[in-house]
Amino acid sequence: MERAIVSTSEDPPPIVILSPTNPAIIPSGGPHVYLNLASTIARTEAEGPGFRYALWVQGCPMRCPGCCNPHYLADRPARAIPVTDLLEEIRQTKGIEGVTLLGGEPFAQSDALGALAAGVRRAGLSVMVFSGYTLKQLQRDPGAAPLLSQTDLLIDGPYIHRQADRSRRWIGSSNQQIHFLTDRYRALEGRWPVGDTLELRLNCSADGEVTISINGYPHDNISAMIRASLSRKP
């Protein structure tokens, strides 16, 4: 099931649980809880405080114009991975202080990500979540509770392109709010870092194929420059 909703205001649509209810996307039953995972970066400084393990889920019920991850919106099979396997991978990652959940829409997979976040916090790591839903909306919906109850730091609200915000680090648009749901990052309240962050990674496969990945705030001019460079023939 794919449900396309255009979000143009600060009042996004009701929470839609996507992949966990669709056996064509993620296996159901058995001993494992699965996530429909789009991509991961094991160690980044561009997705929240300190070095963090960042993961993007596949599937989002909203269609915010200008979304920087449009390829993560469709509710389609990506990488189905048991939560236990991903949690072990995170635990084995050295030098991180927490995990950041992005998408897609993390709360569309609240049960699975709630289980992951609980394990992450038991390991002494923090949990930061970016959601297109507002905190008030999440608090009203019981389906959001598994993940919301395990979140230390929440950035909420849909991305609104005309309100793009380049002053607050890690924040997409000025309507989005920062919520300190625990004391873990309370010291940042009133002292939020400023300025954008952007990371580029150059990858070369065994057959010589070169790819560049970008995460952080995706400036249009930088993205265009990279695409142009990759399209040039040697």
Which of 1-15, 86-100, 181-195, 209-223 is the most confident on average? 86-100
Amino acid letter for position 141: D
- pLDDT given for residue 18 in this prediction: 46
pLDDT tier, 2 (very low <50, low <70, confident <90, very high otherwise) = very low
Residue pair 86/55 in contact by the 8 Å Cβ criterion: yes
Average pLDDT, integer, range 90-101: 97
Residue 39's domain comprises 19-188
85-110 per-residue burial string, b: 16 or more CB within 10 A, e: under 16: ebbeebeeeeebebbbbbbbbbbbbb
For the chain, give the mean pLDDT: 81
What pLDDT shows up at residue 133? Answer: 95
User: What is the 8-class DSSP label of residue 158?
Assistant: -
Residue 105 pLDDT > 50: yes
20-34: pLDDT as tens digits: 434 444 455 556 789
Domains in the chain, number:
2
Same domain, 143 and 211: no
Are 178 and 202 found together in one domain? no
Question: Are 219 and 180 members of one domain?
Answer: no
Q: Is there a domain that residue 12 lies in?
A: no
Checking if the pLDDT of 203 tops 50, the result is yes
Q: Which of 18-27, 117-126, 187-196 is the most confident on average?
A: 117-126
Query: Does residue 175 contact residue 10 with C-beta atoms inside 8 Å?
Result: yes
